[in-house]
Amino acid sequence: MPKFLAKRWYGIHLILSLILLIVTNVLLSIFVHWVIGIIGILFIVGVAYLTVRNEQLYIEELETYISTLSHRIKKSGEEVINKMPIGIILVNQEKTIEWHNPYIREMVEKDNLIGEKITGIIPPLSDVKGDVTKLEISFRKRIYEVEIHPQERLYFFKDITVFKELQTRYHEEKAVFAIIHLDNLEEVSQTMDEQTSSELLTKITGAITKWANRYGIYLRRYTSDKMLAVMDQATLHQLEESRFDILDVVREMTGQNKIPLTLSIGVGAGKDTLIELGDIAQSSLDTALGRGGDQAAVKNNDKIIFFGGKSNAVEKRTRVRARVISHALRDLMLESDHVLIMGHKIPDMDAIGAAIGVLKAAIANEKEAYIVLDESNPSIDRLMQGVHNHETLGDYFVTSDHAISLVTRKTLVIIVDTHRPSMVLEPRLLHSTNRVVVIDHHRRSEEFFADPVLIYLEPYASSTSELVTELLQYQGDKLSLDLFEATALLAGIVVDTKSFAFRTGARTFEAASFLRRMGADTNLVQILLKEDLTQYIRRSEIIHNTEVINNVVAIAVGEENETYGQLLIAQAADTLLTMAGIEASFVVCRRPDHLVSISARSLGEFNVQVIMEMLGGGGHLNNAAAQLKDETVAGAVTRLKECLKTVKGELK
């Protein structure tokens, strides 16, 4: 209620009270005694005077208190704005500063800011676009959290430098586990006498220990070929910047040996518990070994990156693993009601040859088995013609829909020539059963099947057909291959080794020898691999559009509006590699499925697998590929060149 209304109401109330008292005393004086009435009236007047006077004093004191309180509140508010550790800037529509508190002067180290553009005083704010209301900026070696109120045109600045430093320190001091594995130690020891082997191992261990001491890493050996390393995130960043140079040091120390000794390192980081870090480190090591060794696999939370991998995997000298896998595969087949075999999308000769070999193993174990294939493609047309002309083999090929109708909980799905779920011919089969076997010879990538019941991943092998051929030799006496079936497997080996010119080891020739004994026909292989004249001309057109970079890297590009088969693209890359001076080749073309395909080949000096992995693909050190969605051919070439620049340190 307003003050003047309160006073008026109080006066009316007082007057009415006095009138009532006077009337009461008059009545007393009339009916009782006049002296008593006069005394009562005088008392009432005195009380009224004192009441009015006290009320006036109270109102005056109250008004003074209120006016003082308002002044103090206003003064306190001004002091808070002026002294609190938060900067405030008020701008107009043109982003010109109209007012700021004293904190801003200390922040920008300038006295007069009125009339200046806020982006001129604080340049990082010039990068703010859109309706951003909260962001972090770095300014004069400090970090600020900026809160923007567009409607009021207000900017609030809070110094969070100390918090960020603590946050950075917390992350840098988090524990990291690494497992270091000495590759090929057993094979190297077998080729040396005990003293020489011991001296080499001491030399290698000394180099690793010196490297660990340089970076402050705790190192402890727990088996003859494995060491546990403990470090923090800051040290891991240093190792990543050095690209794990210990890999190169050890490789160069043993490069003169018949069998080089290399390192594989699995690193686990980004987790809070030590158990999780240990599990991730072991998983990373398995991935590094699955990719052929001589590399470091660093898994930080769910992201994994690789370093090294500059040498080809060393071929194993023992068949024990092949025998164990073969027996395990036989047991899994015997426990199944159906066996379904499939390769990757747009299967090649190696995928179909390996599938036929696995089919024969299932038949030898008296199990109903089928190969999943929806349609042929130019790379396998001649082989599929032979399949359909075969007395019985054509009956074992079924479509994806038919395969789905056969699946039960006891069905065994065997994947050949790929270990990436996104690359399989029919992904629905993976979701229909949890019994999946993987047989592949490609270096392991980040993408992998979830919990397969059996994995036979050997990157040292020339082809999946070679691996399957070895498995067949331990499937018992009931196994038999006719001429065409053995030839299909041999054709898979020939294609992936470029007629035994690349990735060919002693085991490759042993597998080929076994197939020859089973009746494989080399002349038929050449017939299956023949290409027609039209394909040859189109391949020549692709090669005609070739750009050579640094005199050693060739990049051939197909026409933007034309499509090319995967076989043609791969053959063009192979042909480029035969040119004088070319050490690595890349062919970029659009496929009939509208994906842009990149086939990469190398003589071994360039790690084309790393380059293709950056584009979402994979493969081997000297034979890899990638497929890009929603990309132009020209755009793919640009991305490829950027990757070549990025991984320059990975190129030998």
Q: For residue 129, what is the domain's CATH number?
A: 3.30.450.20
pLDDT of residue 511: 92
Provide the sign of the torsion angle of the four alpha carbons 543, 549, 551, 553, taken in this order: negative
Q: Are residues 384 and 503 in the same domain?
A: yes
Q: For residue 584, what is the domain's CATH number?
A: 3.10.310.30
Provide the sign of the torsion angle of the four alpha carbons 78, 84, 87, 88, taken in this order: negative
Domain count, the chain: 5
Q: Are 501 and 575 in contact (CB under 8 A)?
A: no
At a CB cut-off of 8 Å and minimum separation 6, what does 344 contact? 351, 417, 418, 420, 423, 424, 425
In a domain, 494, yes or no: yes
Q: Are residues 251 and 375 in the same domain?
A: no
In a domain, 187, yes or no: no
Q: Are residues 70 and 125 in the same domain?
A: no
Judged by phi (left if over 0) then psi (alpha if -120 to 50, else beta), residue 5 lies in alpha
Give which of 379, 530, 354 is closest to 442, Cα–Cα: 354
Q: Are residues 224 and 294 in the same domain?
A: yes
* Residues lower than pLDDT 70 in the chain: 1-48, 50-51, 54, 58, 62-82, 130, 191, 255, 257-259, 309-318, 648-652
Task: State the Cα–Cα distance between residues 630 and 636, nearest whole angstrom.
Answer: 10
Helix, strand and coil content of the chain, in percent to the nearest 5, comes to 50, 20, 30
In a domain, 182, yes or no: no
Q: Are residues 351 and 426 in the same domain?
A: yes
Domain-ending residue, one of 34, 56, 82: 82
Q: Are residues 499 and 539 in the same domain?
A: no
Q: Are residues 219 and 153 in the same domain?
A: no
Q: Are residues 586 and 462 in the same domain?
A: no
pLDDT in tens, 420-455: 898 899 999 988 888 999 999 887 777 888 888 998
Q: Are residues 594 and 457 in the same domain?
A: no
User: Structural domain of residue 29, as residue ranges?
Assistant: 3-82
pLDDT of residue 652: 41
Q: Are 587 and 598 in contact (CB under 8 A)?
A: yes
Give which of 433, 431, 439, 434 is closest to 414, Cα–Cα: 439
pLDDT in tens, 458-489: 887 889 999 999 999 998 888 889 999 999 99
The b/e string for 94-113 (b: 16+ C-beta within 10 A; e otherwise) is ebebeebbebbeebbeeeeb
pLDDT of residue 7: 47
What is 427-471 written as a DSSP string? THHHHH-S-EEEEE-SPP-S---SS-SEEEE-TTSS-HHHHHHHH
pLDDT of residue 646: 78
Q: Are residues 542 and 619 in the same domain?
A: yes
- Quick one: tokens of 217? 């890493």
- Quick one: tokens of 608? 């084309």
In a domain, 180, yes or no: no
Q: For residue 332, what is the domain's CATH number?
A: 3.90.1640.10
